[in-house]
């Protein structure tokens, strides 16, 4: 069957027309206008663009997306501590936001009323001039806002539910972690069965000596397209520990970017893909260090079977001003079938001369010797394969700061299509 691909310029213009929103506040009008002006000069990327050469958008371009219904399924019920957005719009009837001294969790309108200085943070992270990030800024419906002051023990859970039906939804998240604060945030994406396009943007500002633990869990339907951006800025002595888990979606691409604004930052980026069939999981990361004594550790693991395709492109920038940086980056992939694919490109760009940096990539299959050893101890082949996959993935799973999420992922590995 031949698929007719529309003109990329026209497609982007149509998406922009579909999602464009009117704003009344001057600051939001200016923000939207800036992004719209940028998009009017751009086009949908293709394989000639270096950052997209491994990722085909032909499947996305073959779809005609409209605004979603915003109707949540009847079985979606409120859970204590969870804020729910349906098709990018706050659903108060399904939400029971976490409540604690020093914590604000709410939608955009409530945040503007209670935390008016959010206008100094929303849309202010570097990296806004990227096509899908700008598309989100031009037309996001609402935003989940988390403002943390103090030590918050319980995780804050954000659930973004997409209703499908050939629709586009644009979730937006803003996290402001004030000085000396501590918090754990779960950002989860799920959807009904059916084709849909989720285009999300998350901005996280980590103030001096603040710590943010962040879990991003994507488990949308097998027909969904998901493109996400997470942009973090870290001030002096701050910590950001991020975990990005990709389970669902036909095409799932995540841009993960950290911008250092002060010295002695500590950054962890851990990722895990579990993909099968003809899924594509694409992670692009950028760690931009500009100050001395930064420490970064990135580990990305992919388990790939069927005809699925994993992509990892990680970049660590260590300019002259980032002396005494300690940076490590490793991509590891486990291919479980002859037609599974991976493209991996870890990168270090270093001009500083007093640093300790390393990067690497490995691609492997299940070891015949290890399988034979387990079978010689009386285990069946299927159980043996599951145990080895679990051993591969556990390095990421065991470090997750929320026990319930760890248990869910262990179950996902156990049930993975080997």
Whether 373 and 243 share a structural domain: no
Whether 105 and 239 share a structural domain: yes
Whether 115 and 253 share a structural domain: yes
Please check whether residue 67 lies inside any domain of the structure: yes
Three-class SS of residue 412?
helix
Please check whether residue 73 lies inside any domain of the structure: yes
Looking at the 3D structure of the chain, how many domains does it have?
2
- Please tell me the distance from the alpha carbon of residue 60 to that of residue 380, in angstroms, as a whole number: 41
- Please tell me the distance from the alpha carbon of residue 85 to that of residue 189, in angstroms, as a whole number: 10
Q: Which of 221, 240, 262 represents a domain boundary (last residue)?
A: 262
Whether 382 and 256 share a structural domain: no
Whether 99 and 224 share a structural domain: yes
Residue 3 is predicted with a pLDDT of: 43
Whether 50 and 183 share a structural domain: yes
Residue 83 is predicted with a pLDDT of: 96
Does residue 37 contact residue 94 with C-beta atoms inside 8 Å?
A: no
C-alpha dist (Å) from residue 182 to 69, 97, 128, 174, 231: 37, 18, 26, 16, 18
In degrees rounded to 5, what are phi and psi of residue 368?
Answer: -60, -35
Residue 98 is predicted with a pLDDT of: 84
Lookup: tokens for 160: 């973004």
Domain coverage including residue 412: 367-418
| Confidence (pTM) | 0.95
DSSP tag of 273: E
Does residue 97 contact residue 85 with C-beta atoms inside 8 Å?
A: no
Please check whether residue 297 lies inside any domain of the structure: no
Please check whether residue 303 lies inside any domain of the structure: no
C-alpha dist (Å) from residue 316 to 128, 179, 190, 260, 325: 19, 26, 31, 12, 11
Residue 2 is predicted with a pLDDT of: 41
Lookup: tokens for 296: 């970064």
Nearest to 164 by CA among 189, 198, 196, 188: 196
Q: Which of 230, 262, 294 represents a domain boundary (last residue)?
A: 262
Residue 6 is predicted with a pLDDT of: 59
In degrees rounded to 5, what are phi and psi of residue 329?
Answer: -140, 130
Residue 229 is predicted with a pLDDT of: 97
Sign of the four-CA dihedral 262, 135, 230, 355 = negative
Q: Which of 243, 262, 281 represents a domain boundary (last residue)?
A: 262
Whether 253 and 371 share a structural domain: no
Lookup: tokens for 164: 């499908």
Residue 128 is predicted with a pLDDT of: 83
In degrees rounded to 5, what are phi and psi of residue 199?
Answer: -125, 95
Residue 1 is predicted with a pLDDT of: 37
pLDDT-flagged residues of the chain (< 70): 1-6, 418
Please check whether residue 161 lies inside any domain of the structure: yes
Please check whether residue 136 lies inside any domain of the structure: yes
Whether 256 and 371 share a structural domain: no
Residue 7 is predicted with a pLDDT of: 78
Please check whether residue 375 lies inside any domain of the structure: yes
The gap between the terminal CA atoms of the chain, to the nearest Å, is 29
Q: Which residues of 229-258 are buried (b: 16+ CB within 10 A; e: fewer)?
A: bbbbbbbebbbbbbbbbbbbbbbbbbbbbb
Lookup: tokens for 205: 């500002």
Residues with Cβ within 8 Å of residue 237, at least 6 apart in sequence: 208, 209, 262, 263, 264, 265
- Please tell me the distance from the alpha carbon of residue 321 to that of residue 319, in angstroms, as a whole number: 6
Please check whether residue 394 lies inside any domain of the structure: yes
Whether 229 and 373 share a structural domain: no
């Amino acid at each position: 069957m031949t698929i007719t691909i529309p003109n990329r310029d026209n497609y982007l213009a149509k998406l922009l027309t579909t999602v464009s929103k009117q704003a009344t506040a001057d600051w939001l009008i200016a923000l939207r206008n800036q992004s719209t002006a940028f998009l009017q000069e751009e086009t949908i990327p293709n394989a000639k663009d270096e950052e997209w050469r491994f990722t085909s958008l032909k499947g996305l371009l073959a779809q005609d997306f409209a605004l979603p219904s915003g109707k949540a399924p009847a079985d979606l019920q409120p859970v204590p501590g969870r804020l729910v957005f349906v098709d990018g719009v706050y659903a108060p009837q399904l939400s029971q936001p976490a409540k604690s001294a020093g914590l604000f969790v709410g939608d955009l309108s409530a945040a503007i009323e209670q935390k008016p200085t959010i206008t100094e943070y929303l849309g202010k992270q570097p990296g806004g001039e990227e096509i899908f990030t700008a598309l989100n800024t031009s037309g996001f419906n609402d935003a989940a806002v988390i403002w943390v002051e103090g030590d918050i023990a319980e995780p804050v859970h954000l659930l973004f539910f997409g209703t499908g039906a050939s629709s586009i939804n644009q979730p937006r998240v803003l996290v402001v972690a004030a000085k000396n604060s501590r918090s754990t945030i779960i950002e989860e994406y799920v959807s009904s069965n059916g084709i849909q396009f989720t285009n999300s943007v998350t901005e996280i500002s980590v103030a001096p000596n603040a710590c943010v633990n962040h879990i991003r869990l994507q488990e949308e339907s097998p027909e969904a397209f998901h493109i996400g951006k997470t942009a973090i800025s870290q001030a002096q002595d701050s910590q950001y520990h991020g975990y990005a888990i990709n389970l669902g979606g036909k095409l799932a691409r995540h841009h993960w970017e950290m911008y250092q604004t002060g010295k002695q930052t500590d950054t962890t980026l851990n990722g895990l893909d579990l993909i099968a069939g003809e899924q594509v999981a694409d992670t692009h990361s950028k760690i931009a260090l500009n100050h001395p004594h930064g420490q970064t550790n990135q580990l990305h693991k992919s388990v790939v079977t069927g005809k699925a395709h994993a992509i990892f492109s990680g970049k660590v920038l260590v300019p002259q001003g980032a002396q005494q940086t300690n940076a490590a980056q490793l991509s590891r992939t486990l291919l479980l079938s002859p037609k599974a694919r991976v493209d991996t490109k870890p990168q270090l760009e270093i001009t500083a001369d007093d640093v300790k940096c390393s990067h690497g990539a490995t691609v492997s299959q299940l070891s015949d010797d290890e399988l034979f050893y387990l079978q010689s101890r009386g285990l069946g082949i299927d159980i043996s394969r599951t145990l080895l996959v679990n051993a591969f993935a556990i390095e990421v799973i065991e470090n997750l700061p929320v026990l319930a999420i760890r248990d869910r992922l262990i179950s996902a590995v156990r049930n993975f299509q080997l």
